[in-house]
Structure formats: structure tokens, C-alpha cells
Structure 1
Amino acid sequence: MHTQFFLTEDTDDPLAAGARTIIAGEYAIFSRFAREDLVSFDFDETVRTYMAATGKTKRVVEHAIFAYNRLYSLPRLRALQDERRLLDLPRLSAADDALNRLGPDPDPAILAAVDELLVGIFTPKRARQQLPGPATVSQRVNALLGQMNPATDCNTKRRKEREDKKAQRPEETTSLEFYEVTEDGQERAGVQIDTDQAVMTSFKLRIALMAKEAGISLAEAVEEVLTGTVPASKVVLYGYTPLNHDGQRDPGAPIYLQGEGWLGGDAVATIEEWMEHTPTQIVDLNEVRERVGGGYAPTEAMRAFAVARDGVCIFPGCNVPAQRCQLDHRIPFEDGGATTPDNLFSLCQHHHNEKTDRRAFYIPDPVSGDIIWLFADGTYQVTEPSSLFTQQITPVAPRWAETMGARKRRKAKNAQFFATGHRILDDYLVHRNAARCAQEIAELEAAFKMTFEFPMDKLPEELFPDGLDGALAKRPVERLGDLQKPCEENPTVEFVAL
């Protein structure tokens, strides 16, 4: 047995042995597709044959065939699967689903990078390490694809809703819709706002801060802002960005926002516009790591460091986002533990209580970042944080500059065509010029020699037919657009840099 292994490979665990038997069965049935191009198969006949032989549904068989066939273009991961039989169908399908956004002819360089990433994810670094799950696979692969191929880095759920002709506003533009409904015989009304990640994060932080300061609910805080009863609170957005040799951020550099992930181009532009009119503070995380607080409570900079380092609750198998976790003093403060990032780790309330009750303890590896968990029954587990830090120090992404290079290497491919077309439709909802939209679609189709079959979205009705200024003259209410910058101020942007 290997000295470094996942818990699923534990030869002394009968449950792990049973799980390995299931994977071995899946491998025996479907691994042939990892070595052969599907072009050589009659697909319908093949699916029917496998359905009859396995008793599986059509959907399960199709997903299994596609999942194993993805290994055809990932030779290093295929070799690892041949050797260790680690990946079950959900994990393979997670990788396949993420890579589908590249279209039928993915860039070989991107495939090679994803291959290296997945091999790294499924190569154990310690004995008794927890096997990463499908969610980790999706998150890590999508994060890499978002950097290497930003043209396809869209909101897949919203795109599918548009494809299904369910009216949905675009991801990276701000739109507003008021509506009325009847519920249980009573007339009700509502409002829907769709915008980019930066603006929505600002909205959420403002409302949460107002609710906390006033001791009211989030809904009451929204009502008070919209009715102009109270001014909105000033908020600070925490983003992560690379610095140049002078310790400054270069224009256009990528931004990772807490709770949102990597920002799209429009969201980055929004933040840069805010930065032109409001003070921006840059905090070097290398310096933050050395700070020691004088009391129990960590500083906001320390919390930002922990969020970037941990990503999620560090307890094995827990995926609660780090920004929603408590910061645990690994060595308790009352026992002399310092309030410093190297002694502060993200734990959700449930697992924080478990650690406080001394049912578990953890030891971080300062070199690899792995967390070794020791349990009261004498067993241990090893977790590898899936975070912003680990994404930036792996061989796949050794430099932030890779994101910028990927933006310059966009190639004309199927996914880019449809992503560009959907963006044109998004922009149409802003400029509302049908002739301009039609011309842009025609130019896109000519450039790609393809047909974009999605119609223009139906424009929302004008809320103020006589113009917003006229409506405001009748009743002086605060412009909705100014909700983004109460007291004539945009949000303060504070960057913490790796």
C-alpha cells in the first residue's frame, strides 16, 4: 500500500473496501471509453446495450460514457485512474461538466493545465487524507477555466434559463423591474434588481450593516433604504488582487471578491470606477501574517488573511464558506495562544464547538498548508484547503499573470461565440437600441460563420414614461442608482494582496 493515501484506500477499513469495489465495477464497465474516440461508436446502440447489461437508466449511462470519455483528452488523470481507481462517476462527471463549457474543440493548452490540476487534486500528500469531492472538483476546475478562458466564464444557470426562454436579466448589467401579484386575494407588489457581482456585493453589505446597526431585520433595512427613511451605511469591500513590484495594483489586474469569487470584466470595471472617486487602501498579506493582536478579537485584516488561506471551514468534509465561519484560536487565547493569523483558522459554529469540547484538534502544516485532524478515538484525517492561496501557489497557477495572459489568448471557438452573443443581448438591455444589437449579432455571425438563434430579450416597461427627472420633481425621492453611493460616496475598496 502507498505511504500516502486517501481514506478511501485504507486497506483495513471494510467500508472503504466496499467503496473501492463500486469504483472498480464502474471502471470495468466504462473505462474503454477513456481510450477510444466516441466517433467510432453508434451512440444510440451503445447506450441501449449498456442500459440492458447494467440495468442503469439512459441518463446514468450517458453521463458515465461522457465522464470516462473525458479521460481520453486527460492522459495524466487517465493514468492515475488506471493505477489507483480513485474517481467514481460523480467526480468524473464533475470534471466533464466543468470542461464542457470549452466547447467541442477545447484548447489543448487548457486541457493540459486542467489535467495537471486534477492530478494534483487526486494525488494524496499524506496518509489518511480525505478524498476531494465533486464540489471541490467543480470549484477548482471552474476557477482555473475562468482565468484561462474568461470568454466562457458566464453564469451557466442564467444562460440555461435564457436558453429555456425563461425571461432572465443579464449577469453583468443593472436592470430593475417592478411587478404586482395577487396572493390569497390580497394585492402585493415586488421589485427585482439584477446587476454585476461588485454592485450586488455592495448592496448586500450595506443592507446587512444597516440592519445590524439599527437592530432590525434585513427586509426592514431594505424598506428604509428604498423609502429614503434613513441614509444607507458606508461599507468596505474586501478584494484580493496582485501587486506589481512597486506594491501597487496595475489597472485591469484580476480581482477576487469575498463571497463572489473571480469578478467578470464589467465588475472589475465597476470597482475601478469606484476607486477613482473613493480612497483605496492596500494591505499586503505577507505583512498581515506577522501581526499579533493585543487582545482576543482579530482584526479585519487578519480575518481577510484567514478567508483567503482557508476558503471554507477547515473541518474534513465541511464546505461552509470561510467568510461565514468563526475564527478559532487553535491554541486557546486563555492558554496563551496569540491572536495572529498563524493561530487563527476558519471553523463553522458546529465544528468550532466540537473543537472547543476537545473532541477534535488540528495541526496545520506550515509548508504545504495541509490540516491534520486528530480525533478522540485515536484516528486522524488530513485535509487540503481549497482556497485562493492554494489556487495561486500550485504548479498550474504559479503566477497571477496567467489570468491576464489568458485574456489575451482568447480563441474563436463555439463557447466563445455563444458567450459573446449572450453578452450582446445583455448589453441590449442597457442601451435599448435594437438596430445596434442586430448589427452586432450579424457581425458576430459573419466572424464565426455560425448562426446565433436567440432573439433579443423583451425590454422591461418604462417605470417613468415622462422621464425620471420629471417623476422626481413630483416627489423628491432618492434616485435608485444612488443606492450604490449613499451620502454621495461610492463604496470604499480595500484590497488585500497575496
Structure 2
Amino acid sequence: MSQPASWSVLNPDSLYSRVRRDRTAAEYDYWRTLRPVADINSEEDWTTLCTLLYRDTGLSKGILTRNFGALDTLDRLPRLKALIAETYLLDLYHLSIISKAIGKAPTELQEEDFLWRSLDEDLMALFTPSRPQQLLPGTRTINNTIADTIASVKNLAAPQVPDPWGKPTPEPEDGPTPCEDPAATMRSLPPADDAGRVSSLFVEPLPDDRLNFSLAVDQATGVLLTDVLSQAARTRKTNQANAMVDQLLDPVSLTVNSLLYRASDVDDAPVFHPTTGILTEEAAQTLQDMVTQTLDMDAARDAETPQHDMTHPIRCCVIGRDWTCRWPGCNAPATHLDGDHRINHEDGGPTRADNMVMLCRHHHNRKTDVQATYLLDPVTGDVYWHFSDGTYAVDLAAGPLAPRKKNWVQTYSQRAARAREYAARKAAAEEFERYQADQEPRPAPQPYEPVLVRHRAPPEEDPPPF
């Protein structure tokens, strides 16, 4: 008999899980006790309220603001709120991550009920287990899920805007998966003063005599710069900040692969980038124009090479399925990680997607040292981690090629229609309200009545002396 789906953090047989649940329940009770003091309708100054709470609790204004904001966010997600009240699956730390991610949505969009219903729907899908002992999604997966939901509502409900590079929008074509070597196109980018693009550079002196550079560019340019800097850091074996400085002062030739993933069998399917997530329609179209190679991920999924290292198509397929390091709790993006053989290559394990996962170097070494082993479901991409104490946990693939994300993409076009219908109904309702306001009888004008205003003349001032 198969075990029912469950979360590993809610394991009733684990002392740590039971203690965690009790701590989380007490944490919510504690903050609900504090919360009435933070009445948003109170006329008392927020800083003063925080000072009073700090006096009695020792909690800083930042922590108070973060956790009260998280509880406010939860109140707008009724299904998730009911789940937490029943199971205490998420603590306030995870709830603050959700609140912060939702806060990145445009202010006007945060006022739309449609967005909150969509967020509640997608978060419930994320926090509904499908395997026994399933690992809780990591922060990157939570952030990506919320960002994808916001993008699906924002992109589909928003009016079309001009291309930031000033190019006409071409007719849509079957989408790319993935594109290769956009670095060669960097030389052909429009100049920085092109009127069609909006970029800004801000330089601020810091107290320690350093300079802070802040650069804002359109999303398409930002994606390319991100990929170039990531490759530059890997080539120079340094971090991205140092790589950017070195590349500006002492440029070297780089070969960069920028990956885009898009379903070819779903109308209006979104375009995913490994570090940016869902791209805007304008950025997606701009980058699609640069595509030099289109890969069939279905073919790559079944492809095999006798070599130890994955071919480029196989690697793209595994990255698109895994999206991050598959070690439990690791959020390192998969684009520059190691491809690990579940069955070692020297033991006869094939270099094929159903025998490979992406692991960061640190966790790859832990697996090589047999500190943990895993099984890989060849269909779903789920990884079953087995630990030395005899327990196990399941990590679900989170990339656009994973079954769960594929199902989400199927609903993307459905949400497009719902978003447009919602926007149309809202516009019609607002127009009807204006019509009703115009039809309401206006009060008759009052007859003019002169009013006599009496006042005392100011006393005369003494004449100035000669």
C-alpha cells in the first residue's frame, strides 16, 4: 500500500518536526497577540507604536514591520491562511518571503482581487504535496512561483507597450528552446543614447571613499548582461562584481549561452529564463530575434552520449527540468552547476537526462563521498534522497520542463482569457458607475444671498519718528 502524500517538515514520527510545529503555532499565537496594537486605523504614530512594543518585547521596528506585513498579506490569501491554521506548514519566515515577493508587484496591480485569487491558487498548488516525505519548496522556488503568477497577470492584463529597443513587434513564431551564444550580438546592440531605450546610471560616493554604481536597463538588455557577467565570473574564477569591473577595464572574449525555454504546443506560452524567470512579452520578443539555435527538448530528453560530459542539448534539458541544485534546501541556479550521474558513469551509468541531476560543487562532493544517495524518477524528475539515518525526503523538479510547471503553463493561456475578462468587466463596471453618477439628480442651485461681514479696522500705527 502506497503512502499518502505528505510534507517532510510535518512528519509526526520525527521529534524535530513535532517541536517545529509547536514552535510555529506558538509563534503565530504570539504575533496575533501583538498585532491588535498595530491597528492600521490607529491615529497613533507607527514609530511610537514600535517604540512601545520594543520597550516590552525587545523586537526592532524592522522585525515588527516585516511580520505584521506578512500577516496582512496572509489575510488576503484565504486558502493559504486556512492551510497554515490547520497544519502550520509555513512559519513567519516563509510567510515574510511570500509577502516580500508579492510586494514586488506593481502597486496598482496589488489592488486587484484577480491577482490575489491567482496567487492564492498558485501558492496552494505549490504547497500541496504530491509525494510522501516531500521537501518544503526552497526560497527560490517560492519567489519564482510568485513572480510567475504576477507576470502571468501583469503581462496578460496590461496594454501593449512599445518595444524598449524601438523595433516593430514581428508576428509571433513557434518559440525557441534555448538560444545559443548571444554574446556575439552584444556588439550590435543599439547605442546607449538610443531614444527608444530607457537606461539610467547613478553614481553615488560612499562614506568609505568607494563609489556605488547603480545601472537600470530594460529587461532584455539585463538578461544578456546577467548571462555575460555570469560567464565572465566563471571564466575569471571570481565573483560577478569583480568580473564586471575586470571585463570593463580588461575585456576578454567570451562565449556565452543564454537559454530561453518556451512550450511549442501551447498558445501564448510564456518564455522562461533560468535566472530572470518569466520574461515580459517585449523582452521575450527581443531575445527571440537573437536566437541562433533552436533545440527540441523532447529529443534531448531521450538523447544519450557515450561521453562522461553531457552534450549541450542534454545539459539544456536537465537545467530546464531542475532549475536549481537538487540537494535538499540548496537554491543555487542550475546554469553553472555540475551534472551528476545518479549511477556513476564509470559504473555503466548513461549520460542521459534520466540519469543526471544538477548539483553545485559543494553538494556534488557530498554525494560523491556518499554522505547521501538518491534515486531519480525518470518521468517526473523527482529526486528521492536517502540519508544515513535511514530516512528519506523527496525533492520535486521546479523548472519549466518539469511536469508540474508544464501543467502550470497549460493554465497560463486560460488565465490570459480570465485576466482580460476581469479587466473588461472592471472597466464596464466603472463606466456604469460613472453613468449612474451622471444620471443622479443634482441639487437645485441656491439663490444668491448677499452676506454682510462686519469687522473692526486695525488701529492706526504711530507715525515713524524723523
In the alignment, is the contact (CA less than 8 A) between 1:116 and 1:396 conserved in 2? no
| Cα deviation 1:228-256 (Å, max 9, x = unaligned) | xx8x55644321123258xxxx8x86422
Where in structure 2 are the equivalents of 1:442-461 lying within 5 Å? none
Where in structure 2 are the equivalents of 1:222-371 lying within 5 Å? 222-223=248-249, 225=251, 232=253, 235-244=256-265, 254-274=270-290, 280-371=292-383
C-alpha displacement at 1:325, in angstroms?
A: 0.8
Equivalent in the alignment of 1:466: none
User: Do residues 123 (structure 1) and 128 (structure 2) align?
Assistant: yes
CA shift in 2, pair 1:209/1:72, >3 Å: closer
Q: Secondary structure at the match of 2:136?
A: coil
Cα distance in 1 for partners of 2:213, 2:121 equals: 46
In the alignment, is the contact (CA less than 8 A) between 2:147 and 2:277 conserved in 1? no
Equivalent in the alignment of 1:83: 86
For 2:220, the aligned partner's letter is: A
Structure whose alpha-carbon radius of gyration is higher = 2
CA shift in 2, pair 1:133/1:190, >3 Å: closer
Return the match for 1:132 from 129, 137, 157: 137
Cα distance in 2 for partners of 1:224, 1:184 equals: 25
C-alpha displacement at 1:309, in angstroms?
A: 0.4
Cα distance in 2 for partners of 1:211, 1:68 equals: 39
For 2:262, the aligned partner's letter is: T
User: Do residues 68 (structure 1) and 78 (structure 2) align?
Assistant: no
Cα distance in 2 for partners of 1:118, 1:295 equals: 41
Root mean square deviation, CA, Å? 4.5
Instruction: Provide the TM-score with structure 1 as the length reference.
Output: 0.62
In the alignment, is the contact (CA less than 8 A) between 1:372 and 1:382 conserved in 2? yes
| Cα deviation 1:437-462 (Å, max 9, x = unaligned) | xxxxxxxxxxxxxxxxxxxxxxxxxx
Equivalent in the alignment of 1:393: 405
Identity %: 28
Q: Secondary structure at the match of 1:199?
A: helix
Q: Secondary structure at the match of 1:237?
A: coil
C-alpha displacement at 1:333, in angstroms?
A: 0.9
Where in structure 2 are the equivalents of 1:144-183 lying within 5 Å? 144-150=149-155, 173=197, 175=199
Equivalent in the alignment of 2:15: 14
Cα distance in 2 for partners of 1:122, 1:233 equals: 41
For 2:261, the aligned partner's letter is: Y
Equivalent in the alignment of 1:161: none
Cα distance in 1 for partners of 2:236, 2:89 equals: 52
Cα distance in 2 for partners of 1:392, 1:201 equals: 25
In the alignment, is the contact (CA less than 8 A) between 1:211 and 1:221 conserved in 2? no
Where in structure 2 are the equivalents of 1:428-467 lying within 5 Å? none
Cα distance in 2 for partners of 1:82, 1:191 equals: 45
Equivalent in the alignment of 2:117: 112
In the alignment, is the contact (CA less than 8 A) between 2:398 and 2:405 conserved in 1? no
Cα distance in 2 for partners of 1:391, 1:110 equals: 24
CA shift in 2, pair 1:32/1:117, >3 Å: farther
Where in structure 2 are the equivalents of 1:468-487 lying within 5 Å? none
| Cα deviation 1:149-194 (Å, max 9, x = unaligned) | 13999xxxxxxxxxxxxxxx9xx94647698999999xx9999865
CA shift in 2, pair 1:10/1:257, >3 Å: closer
C-alpha displacement at 1:345, in angstroms?
A: 0.7
How many residue pairs get aligned? The number is: 376
Equivalent in the alignment of 1:27: 28
In the alignment, is the contact (CA less than 8 A) between 1:337 and 1:343 conserved in 2? yes
CA shift in 2, pair 1:210/1:78, >3 Å: closer
In the alignment, is the contact (CA less than 8 A) between 1:6 and 1:131 conserved in 2? yes
| Cα deviation 1:294-319 (Å, max 9, x = unaligned) | 22121111111111100110000111
In the alignment, is the contact (CA less than 8 A) between 1:176 and 1:193 conserved in 2? yes
C-alpha displacement at 1:355, in angstroms?
A: 1.2
Cα distance in 1 for partners of 2:362, 2:422 equals: 44
CA shift in 2, pair 1:94/1:181, >3 Å: closer
CA shift in 2, pair 1:201/1:103, >3 Å: closer
Higher RCO (C-alpha under 8 Å, 6+ residues apart): 1
Cα distance in 1 for partners of 2:29, 2:225 equals: 52
C-alpha displacement at 1:259, in angstroms?
A: 3.0
In the alignment, is the contact (CA less than 8 A) between 1:6 and 1:127 conserved in 2? yes
| Cα deviation 1:120-174 (Å, max 9, x = unaligned) | 2222333333223444322311222112213999xxxxxxxxxxxxxxx9xx946
Structure 1 unaligned runs (5+)? 154-168, 413-498
Cα distance in 2 for partners of 1:182, 1:319 equals: 31
In the alignment, is the contact (CA less than 8 A) between 1:311 and 1:385 conserved in 2? yes
Cα distance in 2 for partners of 1:270, 1:19 equals: 47
For 1:124, the aligned partner's letter is: P
Equivalent in the alignment of 1:438: none
Equivalent in the alignment of 2:392: 380
Instruction: Provide the TM-score with structure 2 as the length reference.
Output: 0.66
Greater displacement, 43-52 / 369-378: 43-52
In the alignment, is the contact (CA less than 8 A) between 1:371 and 1:382 conserved in 2? yes
Cα distance in 2 for partners of 1:150, 1:334 equals: 48
For 1:238, the aligned partner's letter is: L
CA shift in 2, pair 1:26/1:209, >3 Å: closer
For 1:329, the aligned partner's letter is: H
For 2:95, the aligned partner's letter is: L
| Cα deviation 1:48-70 (Å, max 9, x = unaligned) | 78767755444434433332233
User: Do residues 196 (structure 1) and 218 (structure 2) align?
Assistant: yes
C-alpha displacement at 1:291, in angstroms?
A: 0.6
C-alpha displacement at 1:283, in angstroms?
A: 1.4
For 2:338, the aligned partner's letter is: Q
Greater displacement, 359-368 / 189-198: 189-198
For 2:305, the aligned partner's letter is: G
CA shift in 2, pair 1:378/1:408, >3 Å: same
In the alignment, is the contact (CA less than 8 A) between 2:7 and 2:136 conserved in 1? yes
In the alignment, is the contact (CA less than 8 A) between 1:314 and 1:346 conserved in 2? yes
Q: Secondary structure at the match of 1:282?
A: coil
In the alignment, is the contact (CA less than 8 A) between 1:291 and 1:340 conserved in 2? yes
Cα distance in 2 for partners of 1:139, 1:398 equals: 17
